[in-house]
Amino acid sequence: MKKISTEKTEKNTKICPVCGTRLSESATRCLVCGTQLSETAAPRKSTANLQAKRLPEIRLNLISAAILGLVFLALLGGLVFLLVSSSQQPAEAALSTSEATPTLTPTVTLTPTLTPTGTTAPTWTPLPPLDYTVKANEFCSDIAGVFGVSVASIIQQNNLDVNCTISEGMALKIPQPTLTPSPVPSATPEAIIDDADVCTNTIPVTVEAGWTLSSIAMNYNVTMASIREFNNMPNDIVQQGEVIIVPLCDRKPTAGPSPTPTPLPPYPAPNLLLPRSGAAFSAADTAVTLQWSAVANLRPNELYRVTIQDLTSEEERILVDYVTDTKYILPTTFRPVAAEPHIFQWSVAIARQINPGDPNPIYEEAGNVSLWRVFSWMGSGVSTTPTP
């Protein structure tokens, strides 16, 4: 059987430029679409080069595919969230509209009036007095300061005189301070304090050692109650160094033209500093300096009284001198003459001059005496004429 040549057939054909129908070489019109073929239309030589069009291929690795998957899921989740939010907003708007609608029917509730119940004020049972024995050089003001009571209460409890005269070994009854109950709160508004009623004639007082509220009140001739009320004090106890304002507007009237001065509280004993107890001074030491600590700011008529005594001397040798400073230099005339150590003892106390301005001063005790201290001092061996 004779094989038909395809090359010859492909060379003797035409292609319709409109629908692509293969026609014979001599055809002038397309049999399918009716397009008029030109004479110069070139016949199709070969169909080998005609290939079907293919879609583009996209190739991705595993990591890129995972990233694209996550991005797709995120976009999908955002779309779902927007849909849910848009569905909830109308419901919330409707709910807020319903809540904003006021109720036209008001409800009137009657509140019953409460009847106040009276509070029973607490009652306090007074405490029994304490037994106390008076010690040496002790005053009523000292005892009142220790127990936190007033001097007037001690006088009343023991039937003493107005000066509260006591002696060493005397048995006293000390009243214990009664607790003051707290005031019951009241609905009555507090009274407005007028500035015109406030006392302006006042004086500040710094409490010193041994002072009590009773002694301060007696010194300024005012009542203890006025001092407590002006300073808002809860009790009669005062502390050393505390500043108290003493009102002088309501001073008690003086009984006579020349009132008796109120005795000031006694000063505590000074604390001796140098020389230490048992110190020894040789013959080369030409002077001995005694030092002590100050107890308070002394008044113009008050001095430190220094007492030195030679315990080794056969005859009594005692030196008493008054100074305003807290040190005293032992004079050379009081130094022993014999070339052997002598034992000295010394003490310090506060004395008050009772005749100010007199060239021959007279002193009285104004405080407690310090403890005695001793030291030794070697004699110089040279006799000196004592200066009167």
For residue 248, which phi and psi values (nearest 5 degrees)? -105, 10
Report the distance separating Cα 306 and Cα 15, nearest Å: 151
For the chain, the structural domain boundaries read 13-41, 128-177+200-253+260-266, 272-378
**Assigned CATH topology for domain 272-378:** Immunoglobulin-like (2.60.40)
- SS (HEC) of the chain: CCCCCHHHHHHCEEECCCCCCEEECCCCECCCCCCECCCCCCCCCCCCCCCCCCCCCCCCCHHHHHHHHHHHHHHHHHHHHHHHHHHHHHHHHHHHHHHCCCCCCCCCCCCCCCCCCCCCCCCCCCCCCEEEECCCCCCHHHHHHHHCCCHHHHHHHHCCCCCCCCCCCCEEEECCCCCCCCCCCCCCCCCCCCHHHCCCCEEEEECCCCCCHHHHHHHCCCCHHHHHHHHCCCCCCCCCCCEEEEECCCCCCCCCCCCCCCCCCCECCCCEEECCCCEEECCCCCCEEEEECCCCCCCCCEEEEEEEEECCCCCCEEEEEEECCCEEEECHHHCCCCCCEEEEEEEEEEEEECCCCCCCCCEEECECCCCCEEEEEECCCCCCCCCC
Give the residue from 351, 169, 355 showing the smallest Cα distance to 264. Answer: 351
Bridge partners, residue 373, by sequence:
346
Q: What is the pLDDT of residues 8-39, one digit of tens each?
A: 445 567 788 888 788 777 777 887 787 877 65
| Per-residue pLDDT, 102 | 52
A 10 A CB-CB count for 330 gives 20
Report the distance separating Cα 202 and Cα 131, nearest Å: 38
Q: How many residues does the chain have?
A: 388
A 10 A CB-CB count for 225 gives 12
CB-facing half-sphere around the CA of 158: CA atoms within 13 A: 26
| Per-residue pLDDT, 308 | 92
| Per-residue pLDDT, 142 | 85
Report the distance separating Cα 181 and Cα 291, nearest Å: 50
Long-range contacts of range 56-61, CB-CB < 8 Å, 24 or more positions apart?
Answer: none
Report the distance separating Cα 135 and Cα 171, nearest Å: 10
| Per-residue pLDDT, 256 | 46
| Per-residue pLDDT, 323 | 92
**Assigned CATH topology for domain 128-177+200-253+260-266:** Membrane-bound Lytic Murein Transglycosylase D; Chain A (3.10.350)
Whole-prediction pTM value? Answer: 0.34
Long-range contacts of range 73-81, CB-CB < 8 Å, 24 or more positions apart?
Answer: none
A 10 A CB-CB count for 71 gives 10
Residues of the chain with pLDDT under 50: 1-9, 40-52, 97-98, 179-182, 188-191, 193, 256-258, 386-388
Whether 310 and 356 have beta carbons less than 8 Å apart is answered as no
Cα Dmax for the chain:
182
